[in-house]
Amino acid sequence: MINVWARVRRLAAPLTVLAGLGVYALAAPSAWMYAGTSGYRLTPATVPVTPVGIVLGAGLDPDGKPSPFLAGRLRLAADLYRRGKVRVVLVTGDNSRKSYDEPTAMRNFLVANGIPVGRVVLDYAGFDTWDSCVRAKKIFGVDRATVVTQEFHLPRAVALCRAAGIDAYGVGHDSSTVDARVTRYGYAREVLASLKAVGDVVFTPSPRFLGPPEPGVRTALR
């Protein structure tokens, strides 16, 4: 028994170091994104004027309408439009099957909230944050934009859009007033999601779908 405890004591220090390194490896990407985007994450009142607002998809309810979190993002984008902070809203989400159409649901919500239909542009292949940012740049020609998403997602979204070549700012929706439990999960999930984001920044993979440039944003800005 004495020999066993002696071995445990000898292993305790290196195991503690390994555990600390593991925690650091998990936390470092998220911390880097928070620090690197701190000057670009602002409020609706303080964010600079940009031509385009980019709203990232966040799921639909069973009836095909925006989920509460997505509705929060869309209301915030509508507020930015009414303030004159953005002139066009690019909604980007999942339409990988006929029965699931995030961008159309997002456009309908914005139009119902007073945004002219001609000022809303749809991206049907925004399957994740990186894809949405790259497609905004390469397909829709967006050079400067304000990203709209939940506060817990905002550092990663702004960091990825800036890595994709967009002069991006961000405004976040406080979803804790909608669902505090899911919001806490969102913050925890971002720690792991940031690991993938670092890979996106380093390796710059192509989106699942690219295709030819589309004039929707340029047309809407005229």
The rounded distance, in Å, linking the Cα atoms of 210 and 123 is: 11
User: Does the pLDDT at position 208 exceed 70?
Assistant: yes
Residues 29-34 have a mean pLDDT of 80
Q: Could you tell me the pLDDT band of residue 201, with boundaries at 50, 70 and 90? A: confident
Tokens of 45: 């009142």
User: Does the pLDDT at position 155 exceed 80?
Assistant: yes
Domain count for the chain, please give it.
1
CA 117 to each of CA 14, 18, 95, 220, 222: distance values in angstroms, whole numbers, following the listed order: 61, 55, 19, 10, 14
What lies within 8 Å, CB to CB, of 176 at 6+ separation is 183
Q: Could you tell me the pLDDT band of residue 170, with boundaries at 50, 70 and 90? A: very high
**68-93 per-position pLDDT tens digit:** 999 999 999 999 999 999 999 999 99
Residue 123 or 20, more confident = 123
The rounded distance, in Å, linking the Cα atoms of 28 and 33 is: 9
User: Does the pLDDT at position 5 exceed 70?
Assistant: no
Residue 4 or 86, more confident = 86
> Looking at residue 152, what is its pLDDT?
95
> Looking at residue 30, what is its pLDDT?
77
Residues 122-148 have a mean pLDDT of 97
User: Does the pLDDT at position 38 exceed 60?
Assistant: yes
> Looking at residue 18, what is its pLDDT?
41
> Looking at residue 191, what is its pLDDT?
86
CB 107 within 8 A of CB 122: yes
Q: Which domain holds residue 125?
A: 2-221
CB atoms under 10 Å from CB of 187, counted, come to 14
